[in-house]
């Protein structure tokens, strides 16, 4: 069996960044409703079961320390030093790389129309968009959808969410989300091999402003852990990505 070549310096750096990038918000970087974290009535939102709160609180504190010491400086360097054109190309490349995964996941739930959209976008951008660095698909009107993950598949098949769970390095989740994340990582590593860390790092670099805003809101909370848990409950979407 042939051995894979060592990771390049870029891939090793991306792996380190990826490991910390998901510390605060987990694997998804999504738009929060306006004022979702700042609203003084956040405690009146949905309630999630949290039987492991003492452990979750320790992991939450660990993730915040990782954000402050590693992720925030990396984000500032990226947004301040990397040209906007290069950032845009990375965003498009990451979006293109997501499409086959989402097509497979959505097809497994029987949503063939959605799966076709993912494949259409991938084909157009991979062929005509310089291997996905240009978003030609949007220019010609191909629909764009949020990623469809293994967690969405489990949700679609009515797997219950389970209790709230803060994962070290990976952020807030629940048992279903944790299982979905394992599936996403397994698929990503299998398909992208050494380039998977670059894919994950790019996924989170493009969400810096949302992550940073959430971190600032937590600083002003009397109980940042409880506020983060409530925000997760409010933003934890229903099955499947927004259309």
Tens digits of per-residue pLDDT, 129-179?
998 899 999 999 999 998 898 889 998 998 998 999 998 877 888 999 888
Q: Do residues 98 and 137 lie in contact, with contact meaning Cβ atoms separated by under 8 Å? A: no
Band (43; pLDDT cuts 50, 70, 90): low
**Full domain range(s) for residue 133:** 47-235
- Cα angle 8, 74, 212 (rounded to 5 degrees) comes to 140
Residue 193 gets which letter from DSSP? G
- Does the residue 41 lie in any domain? no
- Does the residue 27 lie in any domain? no
| Cα(71)–Cα(56) distance, integer angstroms | 20
pLDDT tens profile 191-233: 776 666 666 666 666 666 666 777 777 777 788 888 888 878 8
- Does the residue 90 lie in any domain? yes
pLDDT tens profile 95-134: 898 899 999 999 999 999 999 999 999 999 999 999 889 9
Long-range contacts of 108-117 (CB under 8 A, 24+ apart): 108/153, 109/152, 109/153, 109/156, 109/157, 109/240, 111/240, 114/145, 114/148, 114/240, 114/243, 117/142, 117/143, 117/145
Average pLDDT of 77-89?
A: 88
pLDDT: which is higher, 34 or 86? 86
Q: Do residues 179 and 162 lie in contact, with contact meaning Cβ atoms separated by under 8 Å? A: no
- pLDDT confidence of residue 68: 86
Q: Do residues 32 and 214 lie in contact, with contact meaning Cβ atoms separated by under 8 Å? A: yes
Number of domains forming the structure of the chain? 1
- Does the residue 124 lie in any domain? yes
- Does the residue 206 lie in any domain? yes
pLDDT: which is higher, 46 or 232? 232
- Does the residue 18 lie in any domain? no
Torsion of CA 111, 114, 118, 121, to 10 degrees: 150
- Does the residue 36 lie in any domain? no
Whether the pLDDT of residue 189 is over 50: the answer is: yes
- Does the residue 22 lie in any domain? no
């Amino acid at each position: 069996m042939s051995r894979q070549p060592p990771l390049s310096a870029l891939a090793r750096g991306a792996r380190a960044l990826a490991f910390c990038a998901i510390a605060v918000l987990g694997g998804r970087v999504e738009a929060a409703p306006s004022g979702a974290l700042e609203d003084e009535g956040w405690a009146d939102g949905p309630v999630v079961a949290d039987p492991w709160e003492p452990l979750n609180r320790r992991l939450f504190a660990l993730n915040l320390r990782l954000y402050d010491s590693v992720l925030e400086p990396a984000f500032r360097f990226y947004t301040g030093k990397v040209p906007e054109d290069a950032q845009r190309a990375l965003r498009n490349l990451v979006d293109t790389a997501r499409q086959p995964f989402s097509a497979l996941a959505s097809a497994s739930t029987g949503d063939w129309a959605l799966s076709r959209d993912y494949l259409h976008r991938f084909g157009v951008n991979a062929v005509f968009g310089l291997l996905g660095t240009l978003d030609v698909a949007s220019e010609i009107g191909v629909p764009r959808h949020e990623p469809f993950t293994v967690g969405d598949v489990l949700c679609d098949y009515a797997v219950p969410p389970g209790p709230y769970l803060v994962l070290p390095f990976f952020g807030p989740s629940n048992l279903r989300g944790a299982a979905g994340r394992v599936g996403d990582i397994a698929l990503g590593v299998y398909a992208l091999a050494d380039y998977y860390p670059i894919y994950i790092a790019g996924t989170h670099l493009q969400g810096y402003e949302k992550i940073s805003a959430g971190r600032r809101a937590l600083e002003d909370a009397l109980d940042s852990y409880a506020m983060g848990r409530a925000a997760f409950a409010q933003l934890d979407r229903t099955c499947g990505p927004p259309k």
